[in-house]
Each structure stands twice: as structure tokens, then as C-alpha cells.
């Protein structure tokens, strides 16, 4: 759905790894990213963006579920403002499972929120009446369109005994989200974040219009945040898996901030 009219100037195609390795070390075609470590990758293609506007990164969701985020570094700011995103990114790992990466893996996309316009509550009401938009009772919508998503008492737990088995596969080749999630057990449980680690939960089912994306932001408590898988594509249907990273231990996350966005001039 992200290839619909106008969205190509908002959200890039998937960006691929060309070579990868430990930060500051040799870059090769394969790399095992261990929990707590940082990797550096050269990526392709280099996509022409919007000069003067800093692109945001949305990590591929299966990587986010494994605890991996993709970043630019501060010294890349001049390149970011040039309209040509840098060909180098950093990957940090705060999960529990070693992640195998190789040449050709799709790791992230870039997006430009400035090329969109927020959808106000009155517009959402019309969308909900005609059935093109469905939001669960966990979504609170304010008049200006700003939303807060209440964290549900649902959690995905992983048996530590499965970690070594899961770590043998390259989960981000092709689309393996459903296969990965079969290793997790979904339980009804109050969410508590752990310092320096992520927990997985999910929203109630949603449905987005084919011309409207959902942009996720941080949590409201300041003691945890939503990991950088931030764009839910137009036309998405189903529960949204949220990856919550703990800044402080033993904290119950409050809410995740979100906006619905449409393309400018589309």
C-alpha cells in the first residue's frame, strides 16, 4: 500500500545491506550481531530525498521484534540535510537473540513526516463511520488528531531454552515475522519494562484507510520508549505489535503516542 499515489515521496523502499561488520571493524558480507553490541553497515540504494529536511528511520519490524534498531550518527547531519541519505548506518541490539545479517538483507526505510498532514478527529470520525478506519478502545483520540494508545495487558514471552535454536536462522531474509512469532508465547500479563531490554505487546485490532498511515512516537512515561519501527503502512489491518524498550526497570509503560497522516497534495 505504501506505493499508492503520493507515498513514494514520504516513505522509501526497503533499504538493503551491502556489507556489515562490528563498528570500527572490517565490513564483510555476513555478520552475527550479538546482544549489547553495535554493528556498522553500508547500505544500498542511496535514495534522493528532500533537501533541507532530515529523514527519519523506521526499522524493519522483524528486526525491531528481535531488539535491533537502525540509526544514523550525529556526524552525518550535513549529509542528512543534503537530500541524499548517507550510505552508512549503525545497528544497535538490545534484545536477547543473536541476529544473523548478510548482504541483501532489508533492514529499514526512511520517511519524511513533513510530507504528510495530520488527520484531525473530525476526519477520523467520518472514516470510522464509513468503515475505512477501525481503532480499538485502547486508542484515545484528541480533537487535533493526536492519539494515545493504552498498553494492553498482553505480552509475548520467549523461553530462554529456544534462544540458541532461533539464533541459527537469518530471520530478516524474506518475510518471516509469523514464523518468528511462533516461538513466542502470548500471555495475558501486565507489562513491565526491563532496563536496557525490550518487551513485546500488541494493540487491539485496527484497520487503516488505503491512503493513510499511522506514525508511532515515544511513550508518555519517559521511562520507556517505543523502538524505532515507527510507520504502519496505509491499508494495514490487524493488531499492531509494539516493541517497548525499558529505560528504567520494573516500570509499567503508560501509553504510546501516535498520529494518522495523509500525503500532502495527494
Note if the bond before 214 is cis, omega within 30 degrees: no
pLDDT in tens, 101-160: 999 999 999 999 999 999 999 999 999 999 999 999 999 999 999 999 999 999 999 999
Cell of 112: 519524511
Cβ atoms of 72 and 90 closer than 8 Å: yes
**Arithmetic mean of pLDDT over the chain:** 92
Question: Does residue 96 share a domain with residue 49?
Answer: yes
- Residue 152 falls inside a structural domain: yes
Same domain, 96 and 43: yes
For residue 30, the model assigns a pLDDT of: 97
Cα–Cα distances in angstroms (integers) from residue 252 to residues 46, 192, 201, 220, 248, in the given order: 40, 5, 12, 11, 10
How far is it, in rounded angstroms, from Cα 111 to Cα 263?
A: 12
Confidence (pLDDT) at 266 = 56
Is-above-0.85 flag for pTM?
A: yes
Q: According to the model, what pLDDT value does residue 6 have?
A: 85
Match 513514494 to its residue by C-alpha cell: 8
What pLDDT, on a 0 to 100 scale, did the predictor assign at position 1?
52
pLDDT tens-digit map of 220-245: 888 888 998 999 999 999 999 999 99
In this model, does residue 260 exceed pLDDT 60?
yes
On whether both 189 and 240 belong to a single domain, the answer is yes
192: left (phi over 0), alpha (psi -120 to 50) or beta: beta
All three cell numbers of 161, joined, read: 531454552
Report H helices in 49-136. Answer: 61-65, 77-81, 121-129
pLDDT range class, residue 83, cuts 50, 70, 90:
confident
For residue 1, being part of any structural domain is answered with: no
How far is CA 259 from each of CA 25, 124, 141, rounded to the nearest angstrom? 39, 11, 9
Mean pLDDT of 62-89: 92
Residue 56 pLDDT more than 60? yes
Express each pLDDT in 164-221 by its tens digit.
Answer: 999 999 999 988 999 999 999 999 988 888 888 899 999 999 999 999 999 998 888 8
Please state the rounded mean pLDDT for residues 73-80: 89
Q: In the prediction, which pLDDT does 2 show? A: 59
**What phi, psi does 134 have (nearest 5°)?**
-130, 125
Q: Give the count of domains, the chain.
A: 2
Domain boundary among 92, 114, 136: 114
CATH number at residue 165: 2.70.40.10
Domain that holds residue 209: 115-263
Amino acid at each position: 500500500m505504501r506505493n499508492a499515489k503520493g507515498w513514494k515521496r514520504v516513505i522509501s523502499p526497503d533499504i538493503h545491506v551491502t556489507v556489515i561488520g562490528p563498528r570500527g571493524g572490517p565490513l564483510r558480507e555476513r555478520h552475527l550481531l550479538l546482544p549489547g553490541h553495535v554493528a556498522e553497515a553500508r547500505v544500498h540504494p542511496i535514495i534522493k530525498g528532500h533537501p533541507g529536511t532530515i529523514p527519519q528511520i523506521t526499522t524493519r519490524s522483524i528486526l525491531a521484534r528481535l531488539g535491533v534498531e537502525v540509526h544514523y550518527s550525529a556526524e552525518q547531519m550535513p549529509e542528512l540535510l543534503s537530500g541524499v541519505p548517507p550510505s552508512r548506518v549503525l545497528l544497535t541490539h538490545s534484545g536477547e537473540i543473536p541476529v544473523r545479517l548478510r548482504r541483501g538483507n532489508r533492514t529499514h526505510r526512511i520517511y519524511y513526516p513533513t510530507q504528510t498532514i495530520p488527520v484531525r478527529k473530525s476526519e477520523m470520525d467520518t472514516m470510522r463511520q464509513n468503515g475505512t478506519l477501525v481503532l480499538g478502545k485502547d486508542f484515545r483520540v484528541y480533537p487535533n488528531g493526536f492519539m494515545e494508545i493504552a498498553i494492553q495487558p498482553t505480552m509475548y514471552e520467549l523461553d530462554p531454552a529456544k534462544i540458541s535454536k532461533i539464533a541459527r536462522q537469518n530471520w530478516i531474509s524474506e518475510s518471516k515475522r509469523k514464523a518468528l512469532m511462533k516461538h513466542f508465547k502470548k500471555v495475558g500479563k501486565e507489562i513491565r519494562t526491563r532496563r536496557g531490554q525490550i518487551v513485546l505487546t500488541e494493540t487491539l485490532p485496527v484497520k487503516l484507510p488505503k491512503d493513510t498511515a499511522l506514525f508511532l512516537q515515544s511513550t508518555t512515561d519517559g521511562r520507556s520508549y517505543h523502538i524505532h519501527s515507527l510507520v504502519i503502512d496505509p491499508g494495514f489491518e490487524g493488531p499492531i505489535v509494539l516493541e517497548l524498550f525499558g529505560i528504567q526497570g520494573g516500570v509499567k509503560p503508560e501509553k504510546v503516542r501516535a498520529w494518522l497522516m495523509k500525503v500532502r497534495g495527494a
